[in-house]
Amino acid sequence: MPRSVLPLESLWVFHLIAETGSITGAAAAMKVTQPAVSRRVRELEAELGCALVRRSSNALRLTEAGERFARDLRDGFATLEAATRTVRAQDAPLRIRAYTTWALRWLIPRLPAFAKEHPGIEVEVSTSISPIDLAREGLDAAIRTAPINNPPAPAARRLQPVRIAPFAAPALAKGWKRGAALPGRLLGSTVRADDWRLWHQHAGMAAGAAPLLFESTTLAIQAALEGLGTVICPPVFVQEEVRAGRLKALAGEGVLAGDCYWLILPQGRIVPALQIFAEWLSREAIVEPGAASAPLRQRKTVGSGRRRAG
Contacts of 293 (CB under 8 A, 6+ apart): none
pLDDT at 205 over 60: yes
232 and 132 in a common domain = yes
- Residue 137, domain extent: 89-310
pLDDT at 253 over 90: no
158 and 64 in a common domain = no
114 and 76 in a common domain = no
Contacts of 182 (CB under 8 A, 6+ apart): 166, 168, 176, 230, 250
Burial string for 126-145 (b: 16+ CB within 10 Å, else e) reads: ebebeebebbeeebbbbbbb
Contacts of 19 (CB under 8 A, 6+ apart): 25, 26, 74
Positive or negative, the CA dihedral 304, 305, 306, 309 is positive
Contact 253, 235 (CB under 8 A): yes
pLDDT at 167 over 90: yes
Last residue of a domain, one of 82, 102, 136: 82
Calculate mean pLDDT across residues 169-198.
91
Last residue of a domain, one of 82, 98, 128: 82
- Give the tens place of pLDDT for each residue, 24-65: 888 888 888 888 888 888 888 888 888 888 877 667 888 888
φ, ψ dihedrals at 84, nearest 5°: -65, -45
| Residue at 2 is within a domain | no
pLDDT, averaged across the chain:
84
pTM, to two decimals: 0.65
pLDDT at 79 over 90: no
Q: Which residue has the higher pLDDT, 87 or 203?
A: 203
137 and 60 in a common domain = no
Q: Which residue has the higher pLDDT, 7 or 257?
A: 257
Query: Of 242, 251, 229, nearest to 179 (Cα)?
Result: 251
Calculate mean pLDDT across residues 234-254.
92
Last residue of a domain, one of 82, 108, 128: 82
What distance in Å separates the CA atoms of residue 153 and residue 263, rounded to the nearest whole number? 9
User: Chain-centre distance of CA 41, in angstroms?
Assistant: 31
Tally of domains in the chain: 2
| Residue at 1 is within a domain | no
pLDDT at 82 over 60: yes
Calculate mean pLDDT across residues 170-189.
90
CATH number at residue 184: 3.40.190.290
pLDDT at 183 over 80: yes
